């Protein structure tokens, strides 16, 4: 477990004749009030939960959703000042919600990861007062790792394409696709990459091993995911071009006879063990992306924990100065113009597109959706941009 640093108590006395704005994170601090605990630039929030949290999705406007073990779903509408415990989806008491995707404060989907029918999708349209089971993994050998939807402006949510990535079944990665916002899911037969038998898989650590990368217009449409295992660490990217087989039309991408064209690239991360590989991937534009990972069984090993690309993911180069341990999540901070990565022994920041990283804290984290980070035992924190180190500062923010 990482240490939560910076616990502090500030006594503030506001004069009777003067109106003083007393520093606080969320509101004016009254006399004797305790400030929130911090871990580096992260301000700890009260989740009201002890669940292991691995799903987090910041919608914007102060709205965010989180998910985790034992059917847990949380929601905030006020920037994290208060986190609401949602009604539990039916039959979800023992489910592990590894991924969540939301459109606003009322509409969200949550994905459970588990073997066979323990992988499920639920939906709420009433601010998590009630849930509907949309889809259950029909394959007894399947295991879902990540769920993602298009995030470029378009309404209603029912018009969005979405994807689920699952571990290989019968030597093929499982890709499920929806074109109606998650109401119906179809297995992309013959369109997923082949996997080396018993040697490759994906990781459900942060719901970010699979993403939709930007096209030339910035719309996130290109499927891309990372893998690990004894075969090594790889990145697969589809440029959505189809290869026609069995006499189908090349324009008919939905045909059961059409296959996607995937580029497979070595990820330049730690690999070779069942516990190692690519755990998270993110792109800030069409060309520039980051993968993070390493070996979760060796959380303090820094070698092979981050790599960068500047050519759409065709090639990946290991960070010259990597994060200070295994990392399960990475995200681009547009305001800071920096990458932030997090894992079980802390978080790091890079101002040079992933070539070098500086430590931010030693907390215990699982997943990122900036400005929030989540972890075990109900840990939720929000980024304080004012506490980030300046570009070029190698001392870190701890």
- What CATH number has the domain bearing residue 159? 2.130.10.10
| Per-residue model confidence (pLDDT) at position 395 | 57
Whether residue 318 has pLDDT greater than 90: yes
Mark whether 13 and 136 lie in a shared domain: no
Q: Which range, of 184-198, 203-217, 262-276, 300-314, averages the lowest pLDDT?
A: 184-198
Mark whether 192 and 211 lie in a shared domain: yes
| Per-residue model confidence (pLDDT) at position 265 | 97
Spatial separation of the C-alpha atoms in residues 81 and 47, rounded to whole Å: 10
Q: What is the pLDDT of residues 29-80, one digit of tens each?
A: 333 345 579 999 999 999 999 999 999 999 999 999 999 999 999 999 999 9
Q: Would residue 395 count as lying in a domain?
A: no
Whether residue 260 has pLDDT greater than 90: no
Whether residue 366 has pLDDT greater than 70: yes
Spatial separation of the C-alpha atoms in residues 239 and 311, rounded to whole Å: 13
Q: Would residue 103 count as lying in a domain?
A: yes
Mark whether 267 and 350 lie in a shared domain: yes
Asked if residues 349 and 331 have their Cβ atoms less than 8 Å apart, the reply is: no
- Structural domain that includes position 4: 1-35
| Per-residue model confidence (pLDDT) at position 155 | 54
Whether residue 179 has pLDDT greater than 90: no
Q: State pTM to two decimals.
A: 0.86
Mark whether 31 and 176 lie in a shared domain: no
Mark whether 163 and 244 lie in a shared domain: yes
What mean pLDDT, rounded, does the chain reach? 85
Whether residue 160 has pLDDT greater than 70: yes
Q: Would residue 397 count as lying in a domain?
A: no
Highest-confidence range of 73-77, 183-187, 209-213, by mean pLDDT? Answer: 73-77
Q: Would residue 157 count as lying in a domain?
A: yes
Mark whether 300 and 360 lie in a shared domain: yes
| Per-residue model confidence (pLDDT) at position 36 | 72
Tally of domains within the chain: 2
Mark whether 10 and 119 lie in a shared domain: no
Mark whether 48 and 26 lie in a shared domain: no
Mark whether 56 and 166 lie in a shared domain: yes
Mark whether 225 and 371 lie in a shared domain: yes
Mark whether 29 and 106 lie in a shared domain: no
Mark whether 20 and 49 lie in a shared domain: no
């Amino acid at each position: 477990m990482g240490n939560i640093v910076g616990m502090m108590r500030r006594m503030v006395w506001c004069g009777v004749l003067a109106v003083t704005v007393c520093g606080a994170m969320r509101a004016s601090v009254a006399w004797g009030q305790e400030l929130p605990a911090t871990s580096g630039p992260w301000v700890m929030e009260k989740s009201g939960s002890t669940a292991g949290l691995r799903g987090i999705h910041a919608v914007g406007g102060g709205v965010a959703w989180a998910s985790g073990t034992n059917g847990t779903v949380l929601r905030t509408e006020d920037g994290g000042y208060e986190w609401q415990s949602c009604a539990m989806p039916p039959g979800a008491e023992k489910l592990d919600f590894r991924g969540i995707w939301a459109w606003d404060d009322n509409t969200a989907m949550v994905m459970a990861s588990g073997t066979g029918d323990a992988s499920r999708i639920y939906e709420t349209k009433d601010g998590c007062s009630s849930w509907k089971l949309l889809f259950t993994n029909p394959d007894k050998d399947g295991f879902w790792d990540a769920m993602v939807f298009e995030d470029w402006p378009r309404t209603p949510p029912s018009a969005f394409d979405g994807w689920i990535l699952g571990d290989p079944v019968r030597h093929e990665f499982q890709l499920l696709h929806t074109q109606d916002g998650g109401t119906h899911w179809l297995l992309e037969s013959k369109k997923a990459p082949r996997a080396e038998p018993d040697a490759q898989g994906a990781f459900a650590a942060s719901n970010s091993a699979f993403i939709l990368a930007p096209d030339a217009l910035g719309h996130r449409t290109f499927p891309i995911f990372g893998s690990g295992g004894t075969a090594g660490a790889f990145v697969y990217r589809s440029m959505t071009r189809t290869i026609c087989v069995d006499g189908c039309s090349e324009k008919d991408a939905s045909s059961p006879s059409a296959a996607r064209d995937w580029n497979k690239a070595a990820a330049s991360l730690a690999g070779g063990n069942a516990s190692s590989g690519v755990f998270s991937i993110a792109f800030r534009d069409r060309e520039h992306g980051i993968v993070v990972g390493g070996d979760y069984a060796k959380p303090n090993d820094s070698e092979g924990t981050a790599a960068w690309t500047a050519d759409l993911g065709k090639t990946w180069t290991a960070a010259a100065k990597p994060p200070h341990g295994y990392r399960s999540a990475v995200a681009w901070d547009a305001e800071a113009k920096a990458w932030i990565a997090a894992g079980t022994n802390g978080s790091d920041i890079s101002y040079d597109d992933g070539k070098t990283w500086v430590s931010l804290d030693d907390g215990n984290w699982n997943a990122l959706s900036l400005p929030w980070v989540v972890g075990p035992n109900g840990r939720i924190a929000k980024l304080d941009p004012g506490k980030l180190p300046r570009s070029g500062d190698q001392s870190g923010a701890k």
